[in-house]
Amino acid sequence: MTETHVHTNITPLQDSVAAVDLGSNSFHMIVARVDQGHMRITDRIREVVRLGEGLTPDRTLTPEVSERALTCLERFGQRLRTFAPGSVRAVGTNTMRQLRPETGFVEQAELALGHSIDVIAGREEARLIYLGVAHGLAAGSERRLVVDIGGGSTEMIVGQGFSPRLRESLHLGCVSLSRYAFPDGRITAKALQKAQLAGALEVRPVRELFRRARWQNAVGCSGTIRTIASVVNAEGWCDNGISAEALARLTSALTDAGRVATINLKGLPEERKPVFAGGVAVLQAVFEALDIKHMQVSDYALREGLIYEMMGRSQHEDVRERTVTTLCRQFQVDQAHAQRVEATALGIYHQLAQPWGLTDPSHPQMLTWAARLHEIGVMIAHSQYQKHGAYLLRNADLAGFSRQEQMVLAALVLGHRRKFPLQEFLNLPKSELNSAQRLCVILRLAVLLHRGRSAVNQHHLQVEADGDRLAVEFPEQWLTRHPLTQLELEQEAERLATARIVLTFC
């Protein structure tokens, strides 16, 4: 097995692609055609699901809301039935971030949709929102503030060109704030003040950070802000976008209405009424905290960002690669050693991919990233460094990575040495369990074979698998000349028995 660097597989992007956004208020889907780096949207579907309304204190979903969401996804799935794997990117945001994994809702949702669903962290959501908005605006060098108010969270980003410089996700949205401040449907001055104070309290920790970011233009996006812009425009309070004065007039109009059911504003759809006052209160809090005088509105947001992200990945512009490279630099990883482990791991992978069913393009990618990152915990402490590395990967904001991908990476790094952490793998989504365990076995073997950290050590070994039986064959007399490796392999066979892997070698 020669130690050459192997590039990860990139799936060519199909002509037709789709993005699905499973928000706390609405589920959205867009279908687009991609031609020579340009996107043309051919279909949009939106359904009000109000997933956030069904979130219980113990972080499960009420049966009624769960059924409503799955029925919607089945309809989306009918539209996406002919789409190839890799041509659909579906993400879950705030409410799905809060659901306990053991509820099994993500797995049910994937079955209904017919495609995998990534649950993304708040700052990753913010990055993708900015990517979409930036592509929808005229090119310019000015620094922009972008605000997106969702059902359960509000994302704020400051960026320049296509690069976000500052990202934050606040636990505040139109659904959650409406439930908090207007639970009985009454809109009073006191209730609005309560809502705005709650919003101000949430913005306060990052207020000065965003004020000092020296942005020139404020841009709002997604349903809540676009609806507010439609209302103030239809009422004649602002001709373009949203002004601070128009927002104040809108707040007064809501107080005059008195109740959610009696809101009568031009440009306000009936389905938006139950969460409209909460959304206005969030925007008012953001306007006041950041001293915004005027906000323009973008038609592009998270869904368009997902499409552009897919286009970038298909052209070898995967932000996850940059994230891994940055982590290696920040944690002073021995990159020469990591590359040797990576090359050996990929060599073993290519021999086992077919018999072990590791044929998804993501499998060599995850193995590559785990090999590069397996020693990032050393900078914290050498003792139990695999645990430190896993903690970092599990909890850090890693641009481009979904929550599920971070969980798999953390499991691989935790399991690359010592005791096989079976429980860590059992905590993964069922769809990832088997492949992640087998990738971990490959990584363990690669790390073991480079225990001596020699720059010239090469391993011409043959690896075969039959189910959970793994046979490793070295060149004749190689193990005799390397008794330490033979002893380590004997110990490794005992450890892998925990994962019901039978390792033999000769």
Q: Does pLDDT of 51 surpass 90? A: yes
Tally of domains in the chain: 3
Residue 10 banded pLDDT, cuts 50, 70, 90:
very low
Parent domain of 214: 138-299
Domain edge (last residue) among 299, 328, 363: 299
Q: What is the pLDDT of residue 396?
A: 92
CATH code of the domain in which 277 resides: 3.30.420.150
Q: Provide the total of helices (H) and of strands (E) in the chain, helices listed first.
A: 19, 14
Q: Do 110 and 142 fall within a single domain?
A: no
Q: Do 498 and 372 fall within a single domain?
A: yes
9 within a domain of the structure (yes/no):
no
3-class secondary structure for 164-199? EEEEEEECCCHHHHHHHHCCCCECCHHHHHHHHHHH
Q: Which residue has the tokens 């192997």?
A: 6
Q: Do 153 and 262 fall within a single domain?
A: yes
Q: What is the pLDDT of residue 2?
A: 32
130 within a domain of the structure (yes/no):
no
Domain edge (last residue) among 312, 347, 380: 312
Strand order in the sheet with 154-160: 163-170, 154-160, 143-149, 217-221, 294-298, 242-243
Q: Do 91 and 166 fall within a single domain?
A: no
Q: Do 157 and 104 fall within a single domain?
A: no
Tell me the C-alpha distance between 333 and 269, whole Å: 54
Q: What is the pLDDT of residue 138?
A: 66
Q: What is the pLDDT of residue 85?
A: 81
Q: Do 215 and 261 fall within a single domain?
A: yes
287-293 LR contacts (CB < 8 Å, sep 24+): 287/244, 287/247, 288/196, 288/200, 289/200, 289/203, 289/204, 289/207, 289/210, 290/145, 290/203, 290/207, 290/210, 290/211, 290/218, 291/211, 292/145, 292/218, 292/244, 293/243, 293/244
Q: What is the pLDDT of residue 7?
A: 37
Q: Does pLDDT of 176 surpass 80? A: yes
208 within a domain of the structure (yes/no):
yes
Q: What is the pLDDT of residue 460?
A: 81
128 within a domain of the structure (yes/no):
no
CATH code of the domain in which 483 resides: 1.10.3210.10
Q: What is the pLDDT of residue 13?
A: 55
Q: Do 148 and 274 fall within a single domain?
A: yes
pLDDT tens digits along 357-395? 999 989 999 999 999 999 999 999 999 999 999 999 999
- Whether the Cβ atoms of residue 107 and residue 392 lie closer than 8 Å to each other: no
pTM over 0.75: yes
Q: Do 288 and 364 fall within a single domain?
A: no
- Whether the Cβ atoms of residue 287 and residue 203 lie closer than 8 Å to each other: no
CA angle (143, 146, 150) in 5-degree steps? 170
Tell me the C-alpha distance between 428 and 414, whole Å: 13
11 within a domain of the structure (yes/no):
no
Q: Does pLDDT of 3 surpass 50? A: no
Across the chain, mean pLDDT equals 92
Mean pLDDT, residues 264-268 taken together: 96
237 within a domain of the structure (yes/no):
yes
Q: Do 144 and 94 fall within a single domain?
A: no
Q: Do 375 and 332 fall within a single domain?
A: yes
Q: What is the pLDDT of residue 14?
A: 59
Residue 5 banded pLDDT, cuts 50, 70, 90:
very low
274 within a domain of the structure (yes/no):
yes
Tell me the C-alpha distance between 132 and 91, whole Å: 14
Distance of CA 294 to the CA centre of its chain: 30
Lowest mean pLDDT among 129-133, 286-290, 456-460: 456-460
Q: Do 422 and 496 fall within a single domain?
A: yes
4 within a domain of the structure (yes/no):
no
Q: Does pLDDT of 1 surpass 50? A: no
Q: Do 323 and 294 fall within a single domain?
A: no
Mean pLDDT, residues 481-506 taken together: 92
